[in-house]
Chain A
Amino acid sequence: MLVGLSHVSLASAQEEWCFLAYPRLPDGYRFPPGWRLAEPGDPIDAVVLTTAVPDYALKIVLKNIGDPLVPVVSLVADIRQCVDASAAGEQSAWMRARAIQARLRELPFPIRNSLQPEDMLLARIYSRDQGLAASYDSSARDLVRYPVAGPLDDVAEIATGLVGKGYLTRQFFDRIHCCPQCRSGHLSVREECRSCRSTNIREEVVIHHFRCAHEAPESQFRTGTGFECPKCARPLRHIGLDYDKPGSVTRCEECGGIGDKPVVGFKCIDCDAHHTADQVPVKTWYSYNLTSSGANRLLRGEPISPHASGDGPDRFRILLEHTQREQREFGVPYQVASISFTQRGAIEAQNVRLWEQSLLLMSDALHSALREVDAVQERPDGFLVLMPRTDPDGAKRAMDLIVGRMKAILKIDPGLQCVLLNDATVRELRDQAA
């Protein structure tokens, strides 16, 4: 540790690191060597918060700096999303700020200054040198936050896009129910009456009198002193011998309804709406890690085009290029089919697990029906299937087979649509990917 520390200070002896302290540091505060207070016009390498700063003030400070990647450290405890280090001692705060800035300086100019959310997210993940880990946050509307993402919005959506491009991998974090009306995760889970949805319910034991086969809720058997059968007027003395308790009923104090079990319902604390369990969608949250291809992309300095949806230099693209060359030079036909699920959104909103299982099943069915020379690309809205050396009729037969197999194994109807793409569309796809 000591060695590392001295190494860092030596290496950066020539460099000056400018920081902005907010509010200003007390007089005579000795900050570590290599740092200096930023003068007006200096680039800001780190923001150092010296006390608990209110949200709005911090926002103004960051806005004035205009750098979404700048490290923000606090010398006091501060657990807000955009603070990179706090509460671990002043020394470590300074070191953290320097480490982040050092990695930011590794980034090529176009990336370092890109305003694309995807670039910014990747750059933050890279510079903070830790994965994009999800954590619980009761103050967040959806109960989950990504500290590494700092001030960025819609982190999960951006990250999902990056996973699709191969720059991030994801690991399951949690599944959280959210209000179908306002998407809030602040839901109260309650046991309630089946008919009037009141939570004012009571469980009552059921008694079965062996001698006369009378079975009724316990309250009917209760007399002033003990238990007596309302049917045959005999006293109930001995459980297991005179009577037993085979079950229970739920009695509603509001509407008087009786049932076997209470039902589970959800009440949204934010918008006050009530929902039954089957109406409440579940959102799956993931933590993310940078892949080597993501890091390469960052360091090579090619900002991500906002419209690209290709999959990087993967098997599909290579095969597609090869096949197209074959067609140009030898006139060998090939086909690209697109299988899309029009119902994905609806099904996923209702039951994510069901959708994921179905997707796996469909993928299995697809691969089972294809030849080895065919290639598949998974896309958010379906599959692309490349079939080299195939004429349109052959492709249609193959598609019929695939769709037939998919339908046979699925419990749901994903709204399968299957079309053969024409050359122009395929070329467009390839250009996008490249």
Chain B
Amino acid sequence: MVELDTPLIMLGQLDWLNWLAMFWFMIILEIPRYTLSGLAVLLSSLKRRSSPTTAERQALDRLTISVVIAGHNEADAIEKCLRSLREQTRKIDEIIFIDDGSTDGMREMINRYCQSGQIDIALSNQVRSGKSASCNFGFTLAKGDIIVNLDADCSYDCDAIEKLIEPFTDPLVGATTGALGVRNYGYSAVTSYQAIEYITAIAMGKRALDMLDLVVCASGAFGAFRREAINQVGLLAPGPGEDFDLTLRLRRSGWKVRFAGDSWCFTDTPATFKAIIRQRRRWDRDTTRTRMRKFRDALHPGRRRFSLLETFEQVEWLVMNLLVTLVFPIYVAYLFLLFGNEAIYILLSVAVAYFILDIAGFSMALAICRRYDSKMIVRIFPYLLTYGLYNGVFMRCVRLYAYFEEWVHRASTRDSYSPSRVSRQAHYIR
């Protein structure tokens, strides 16, 4: 009992300088982010999302839609994916499936679906080409005005595509992306944590970014592209991180990328710590590489590609992700150096603060999403108690390691994401 009370008693006796000395990490790096997000969310909830006018709806209806799905060894996932596509409220003009060198009978399966008319075009790489190339293959053959890029192992709300293309009423919008939810939230602690993470990220993160017109990555698992726009800037570059790379190129060419928050896609997330570490290491390496290596010039004023918003966006990312992650271990070390064993209490109070922020953020996120039912909330709520540990410590360590890997080893060039012969050539000259 005493030990639990101690940090609270301590807090009461401090003046603001001491506060700063102890909690500068939170005060400087975390509070502004939460405040910013909270503010953006507040604004976005104040601004009523208007549904399209009749004229806009007619314009939307005139757009033809091609769905492109490329996959490697996804034979088992196809049926579920097609089932949710059949349920779509928006008419799909064309479904193109590309089997990328699968060995699990995916080629035969998509040909069978093609035979029965559930797929319009089935294509196949007998040799694996990688996600980017096989998507590009589908993109070049797609005839629709809007190309919707989906993943075979995701399933979609029945109005997902209808909502996803709504932003295209604005002729400047070149790409949209939808909200990603966790399908297997009840499977394990890890999936529950991720469910919380996704909900918060989408409501607080993506919506906020969208509000501020900052970059949202038009995801390869759930994105829609104006064909004209991607033809103008070129299709996907060799992966990994190709969807983000395309998003940045679109923005650079003046196209807007919008987040369609009511359009929902669900996917199964990694269910074990080992699996999620592997996944996040890859994601974080990819993002870092795309950002740091390919778009370094955004940070250099005077270059042709420079724009204030882009630079702000890059700086924001640098501070919020990179800096926060890198500084965290320094902060912990600093606390122990300066305060000795008391550091534990300080960290405990930090944890409490995180907990409160998390609860607040999560409740806000739930209120905004309005997509999850009470059963699901009850199921994952207990994990909110330890979510701070997951997000603040565990994820931070994984991210730190990933950055380290990318910077020191340039690991992502050796990724198994693309077949090695492809990535070797693709990265040969930079």
Contacts and interface: CB of A to CB of B under 8 A. Distances in A.
Check if A and B associate: yes
Contact of A246 (B101, B132, B426): B101
Contacts of B314: none
A58 interface: no
Interface stretch (A14-22, A133-141, A206-214): A206-214
Given A259-B123, A260-B122, A215 B237 contact: no
B425 interface: yes
Interface in B117-170: 121-130, 132-134, 136-137, 140-141
Given A211-B426, A246-B101, A216 B140 contact: yes
Nearest to A276: B115
Contacts of B132: 213
A240 B107 CA distance: 24
8 contacts: A194-B114, A208-B129, A208-B137, A211-B429, A213-B130, A216-B137, A258-B123, A260-B124
A208 B132 CA distance: 10
A244 B239 CA distance: 17
Given A232-B234, A246-B125, A260-B122, A215 B425 contact: no
A223 interface: no
Report the 8 A-B pairs with minimum CB-CB distance, sorted nearest first. Answer: A210-B425, A213-B132, A246-B125, A215-B137, A215-B133, A246-B127, A213-B238, A216-B140
B114 A210 contact: no
- B contact residues, range: 35 or more
A260 B123 contact: yes
Interface string A254-269: 0000111101000000
A270 interface: no
Contacts of A263: 115
A231 interface: yes
Interface of A: 194, 206, 208, 210-217, 220, 231-232, 240-242, 244, 246-247, 249, 258-261, 263
A33 to B, nearest CB: 70
A261 B111 contact: yes
Given A211-B426, A215-B134, A215-B140, 14 more contacts: A194-B115, A208-B133, A212-B237, A213-B129, A214-B133, A220-B140, A231-B235, A241-B425, A242-B425, A259-B122, A259-B123, A260-B114, A260-B124, A261-B111
Interface of B: 99, 101, 107, 110-111, 114-115, 121-130, 132-134, 136-137, 140-141, 234-239, 242, 421-422, 425-426, 429
A206 B238 contact: no
A246 B196 CA distance: 41
Contact of B136 (A216, A241, A249, A259): A216
B350 to A, nearest CB: 44
B35 to A, nearest CB: 40
Contacts of B422: 208, 210, 213
Contact of A259 (B114, B125, B238, B425): B114
Contact of B123 (A211, A240, A249): A249
A45 B107 CA distance: 65
B336 to A, nearest CB: 48
B115 A231 contact: no
B115 A213 contact: no
Nearest to B130: A213
B126 to A, nearest CB: 5
A206 B125 contact: yes
Contacts of A211: 238, 425-426, 429
Contacts of B425: 210-211, 241-242
Q: Which of A215, A244, A261 counts the most B-chain CB atoms under 10 A from its CB?
A: A215
A260 B127 contact: no
B137 A206 contact: yes
A258 B235 contact: no
B236 to A, nearest CB: 6
Nearest to A211: B426
Nearest to B107: A260
Contacts of A208: 125, 129, 133, 137, 422
Contacts of A215: 125, 129, 133-134, 136-137, 140
A206 B141 CA distance: 12
Contacts of A242: 425
A213 B127 contact: no
Contacts of B426: 210-211, 213
Contacts of A259: 114, 121-123
A210 to B, nearest CB: 4
Contacts of B107: 260
Contacts of B130: 213
A249 B133 CA distance: 15
Q: Which of A232, A244, A247 counts the most B-chain CB atoms under 10 A from its CB?
A: A247
Nearest to B99: A260
A246 B140 contact: no
Contacts of B121: 258-259
Nearest to B137: A215
A244 B127 contact: yes
A95 B72 CA distance: 70
Contacts of A258: 121, 123, 141
